[in-house]
Structure 1
Amino acid sequence: MESNFLTTIFLPLALFLIMFGMGLGLTIKDFNRIWLEPKAVAIGLIAQLVMLPMVGFGLSSLFSLSPELAVGLMILAACPGGSTSNVITYLLKGNVALSITLTAISSLVTIITIPLVVNLAANYFMGEQFALQLPFLKTVLQIAVITIIPVSLGMIFYHFLPKIAMVMEKNVKWLSLFFLGIIIVAILVKERENLADFFLQVGGVTVTLNLLTMGLGYGIAILAGLGLAERKSITIEVGIQNGTLAIAIATTLLNAPIMAIPAAIYSVVMFLTSGIFAGLLKAKIFRGLKST
């Protein structure tokens, strides 16, 4: 997929809107939550920023992926959270404040970690084949522009016009999901001739990544003695990746659309597994694991 309207205009605008919408629900107090709920925040961040890339690397090595798709999976693993995880946490009645805090802090940190993880993965899986290596400082600035700036603008808007921002936030979140759907469909249609092959290659590994990270997130939260609401939040934050950002990095920054395929397929899978998780919660499968 060469550069076109989707990758050069629509995708950056959609990502800007998504991150702006996230900022509409953020205040400085959310960043201070690291001092209010240090254990939950620390566990969530370590799982997102350390465990996720490690799991992604293990699965990329274990499954028989082409070098491009292996790097694409690592890009996905390096992009935790996003406004989608906040919406799903809200629908599952998790600790939304914790979810937003993890998303906000990880969004700041990943402007540094994404170039590191992606470059290491590219060198390992592609070696000399990879001529599109991410320049570190330039990439940090580019990711900051498409994430930190719109989030900051959303926070400023909320600070001065809180009532309007609260109304806008709800609509923008659902609009964000709609835009994500359009992006996924557009990528899959563009690569339709290779779609069946791509599903065969990365369908299993994306499902495994999603289920494994959700399971690990819930398990770690149990071991830490967190309450059910916090467990839900960490499960979703660790198990639901920022597919839109991963697609933007693959198609816009790297101009390597095949690397966006894992993120596109994963973005479909994550809604199915989130629905299953919601069903298990509703059926009180985890009743015996609730904190007293």
Structure 2
Amino acid sequence: MTAGTPHDERQLIIHRFEQGATKVIVNVGVLVAGFDSDVRCIIYARPTKSEIRWIQCVGRGLRTAPGKDTCLIFDHSGSVHRLGFPDAIEYDSLPGTSDGMKDSKVQERAKRVEKLPKECTQCHFMKPAGVYVCPKCGHKPLSGEDVEVDSSRGLKKVSKKERKYTKEDKQRWWSQIKYYQRQRTSMGKPVSDGWCGHTYKSKFGTWPNGLQDYPIEISPEVSNFIKSKQIAFAKGREKQQKQQETSEPQIALPSINPALKSSEYLRQHITPAGGSL
């Protein structure tokens, strides 16, 4: 059943489902609200970040019916990881965009700390929020294994492979290095074209041949790279100075032992006429 299914055909499908002739209805965003038939199993396969949609869709199976004790929900979308169990989502007031006096947020996520269920690493059972030991298999997670993770942040996995820079990326870097050169010149601390070229080469391994010299405002990425090279250079120079200080030869003072020995020799072997020296 889709949005293009005619109304009469929809009613026929629902009637057959209620009579037991049709066991499964596959729908795409149609049976979200207003569908109150006796549903005892839901296979949810549409990812969503909306709590309202999540509650509405799964709520089709949470309604009571004669002889109904349970409802099986198979979440193939990961929504329970992001939003939690539908029966655990509550609102103190109806979500809105304005209360007539001042603007209000649709959902005050910043004011409430959400406790979401966690998946057991042993049997993959979804543990309720705050439950440490898995109720199904009894597994106790190790230290650091049950850490809260904000999966809503759009983080990307960093690849171990070296990033491939395009010609546009290299031009952007070179233009920002030239911008830094102009900044230093305006401060009375200019850097040479050779310094710019070597800085570029230390990043890409090649000289900036064929690139334009027009400057563009420096980004934090390029600025941090230049700072790291300056810090490394300063530490290297400091280390070299310490090595030079330790390797300088010590100036030996002249020994006075020979003079003392000569004086003693004269006292013993040369006696003046007066009898003393």
Counting helix residues as a fraction of each chain, which structure ranks higher?
A: 1
**What TM-score does the superposition give when structure 2 sets the normalisation length?**
0.22
Tell which has more relative contact order, 1 or 2 (C-alpha 8 A, sep 6+).
1
Q: Which protein is bigger by CA-based radius of gyration?
A: 2
**What TM-score does the superposition give when structure 1 sets the normalisation length?**
0.21
